[in-house]
Amino acid sequence: MKRKSGQDRAITKNWKPATLAVRGGTARSEYGETSEALFLTSGYCYDRAEDAAARFAGDQVGMTYSRLQNPTVEMLEQRIALLEGAEACRATATGMAAMTAALLCQLSAGDHVVAAKAAFGSCRWLTDTLLPKFGIATTTIDARDTDAWEAAVQSNTKVFFFETPANPTMDVVDIAAVCAIAKAHGITTVVDNAFASPALQRPMEFGADVVAYSATKMMDGQGRVLAGAICGTRDWIDTVLLPFHRNTGPTLSAFNAWVVLKGLETLDLRIRRQSENALKVAAFLEARLPKVLYPGLESHPQHALAMRQMEMAGPIFSLYVGGGRQEAHGLLNALQLVDISNNIGDSRSLMTHPASTTHFGMAEAARLEVGITEDMLRLNVGLEDADDVIADFDQALRAIGR
C-alpha cells in the first residue's frame, strides 16, 4: 500500500470528520490513482492452488469472491467506520438490507425485540410482520418515553431498535438514556441513523452498540444509488454479522460503493448547508402553517435533547397543512421548484405525503397513533438557495388560498 494511506489508523487517528470523509479508507493500487479505483470484479485469481487453499482457510490475507470482499467496497466500509468512530463496518445493497441483517443476524426464535413505534415504514414491517413470522416477539413503544423502554423489557429481550430523528414524525430518542437501560439488561441497541448521518450524530458516543444506515440518503446525497451499512465492534461484525452477511449475500455492488465514496467527500459540506437551509425554510413555514415539526426549531418539544445529540438538525422535517389529504396534495401540486418525491437526503428539495406513499403500507390506526395524519407532508430541503425554496412555498401557499 502507498504512502498517506487513509487505512492506517496511526495516520488517521487524529483526523477530524471532514478529513475522514475525504480521505478515510483510501487505499491506492500500484498506479497511485488520486481518486479511489473502481474494482468491478466478481472474483480474484491466485498464483498457485496452494494460495487459494490458504485464503479459504484464512491463513493468507487476500480476497476470494466479491460477495465476501471487494477493494472498492472495503474502502467505503473503512471510511464509514472511521466517520462513525466504530471498529468495523459492513456495507449492504440497501438501507433495508442493513436493517434486516443487523436484526436477523443476532436473533433466534423465542427472542424478544423492543422497537420504536415511529419508524420508517419498512422498519415497522420488519418488527410487525417479518420477525413474528419467525417466532421473534416484538413490542413497539413510544420511543420518546424513556420509561417505556424499561417497562417493555422481558427476560428474553435481545435487541432495542430505533431511529432518531424518526421518519417522518421527527420524534427524538434520548440515545444515552435508552442505551444505558439496554446495557443494564445485556440488550444490544441497534440505531438507524439515516436521518442524521455520522456528520451530525454518532450514536456510539452515547452508548449504541450497532449503528445501521441507509447510505442512499445523506451519504450518496445526490439521489443516485441505493446502499446501506452496519457498524459495530470488530468482534460483533466478525462473529455475529459476517456469517449471516456472507452466506445470505445482501452485498453492496462495487459501483454503488464507489458512488457513495464520492458522495462522502462532500457529506460534511452538504449536510451543514442543507441543515442551514432547512432551518430557514422551517422558520418561514412555521409562520404560515398550523404546525411544523423540526428538531432545529425551538418549538419542537424535544429541541434541547436533539441539540445535545446532534451538531445540527439535518435537512428533513414534517409540516402539517391543516385539513386533510386534499389540502396536502394541493400544496404538493402547487409547488414549482420543490419536486414531489419520496426520497430524502438528496441535494434537491423533495416533498412527499407519507400517508399515501412511504407509510401507505402501515395500518391507518398505527399511522394516526404516531401522528402521520392526512394533512402531514415531509420535506427534504436541498442545496438550492433557501430563498428560492421559500419563494416557491410562498407562491404555492398563495395558490391554494393561504
Ligand X SMILES: *Cc1c(COP(=O)(O)O)cnc(C)c1O
**Is 94 one of the binding residues for ligand X (CB under 6 A)?**
yes
Stretch that binds ligand X, among 40-48, 71-79, 190-198, 285-293 (CB under 6 A): 190-198
**Is 78 one of the binding residues for ligand X (CB under 6 A)?**
no
Q: Are 320 and 375 in contact (CB under 8 A)?
A: yes
Which CB atom, from 194 or from 381, has the smaller least distance to ligand X? 194
- Sheet containing 210-214: order of strands: 88-92, 228-232, 210-214, 188-192, 157-163, 112-116, 137-141
340-379 binders of ligand X (CB under 6 A): 344
Give how far the C-alpha of residue 312 lies from the chain's centroid of Cα atoms, to the nearest Å.
16
Which CB atom, from 6 or from 315, has the smaller least distance to ligand X? 315
**Is 175 one of the binding residues for ligand X (CB under 6 A)?**
no
What lies within 8 Å, CB to CB, of 387 at 6+ separation is none
Stretch that binds ligand X, among 90-98, 179-187, 256-264, 328-336 (CB under 6 A): 90-98
211-230 binders of ligand X (CB under 6 A): 214, 216-217, 226, 228
Stretch that binds ligand X, among 65-73, 173-181, 191-199, 258-266 (CB under 6 A): 191-199
Which CB atom, from 123 or from 254, has the smaller least distance to ligand X? 123
Q: What's the CA gap between 379 and 346, in Å, rounded?
A: 11
Q: What's the CA gap between 323 and 400, in Å, rounded?
A: 12
Which CB atom, from 15 or from 125, has the smaller least distance to ligand X? 125
* 3 state DSSP class of 229: strand
Total binding residues toward ligand X, as defined by CB under 6 A: 17
Q: Which residue is nearest to ligand X (CB)?
A: 95
Q: Are 237 and 347 in contact (CB under 8 A)?
A: no
Q: What's the CA gap between 95 and 212, in Å, rounded?
A: 8
Shortest distance, position 81 Cβ to ligand X, whole Å: 19
Distances (CA, A) of 125 to 99, 100, 121, 137, 213: 11, 10, 6, 13, 17
Which CB atom, from 28 or from 300, has the smaller least distance to ligand X? 300
Stretch that binds ligand X, among 11-19, 23-31, 91-99, 306-314 (CB under 6 A): 91-99
Shortest distance, position 247 Cβ to ligand X, whole Å: 21
| 77: enclosing H helix or E strand | helix 71-84
Is the preceding omega at residue 301 within 30 degrees of 0, hence cis?
no
**Is 95 one of the binding residues for ligand X (CB under 6 A)?**
yes
Say which residue the cell 424478544 belongs to.
112
Which CB atom, from 12 or from 216, has the smaller least distance to ligand X? 216
Rule CB under 6 A: which residues touch ligand X? 94-96, 99, 120, 123, 163, 167, 192, 194-195, 214, 216-217, 226, 228, 344
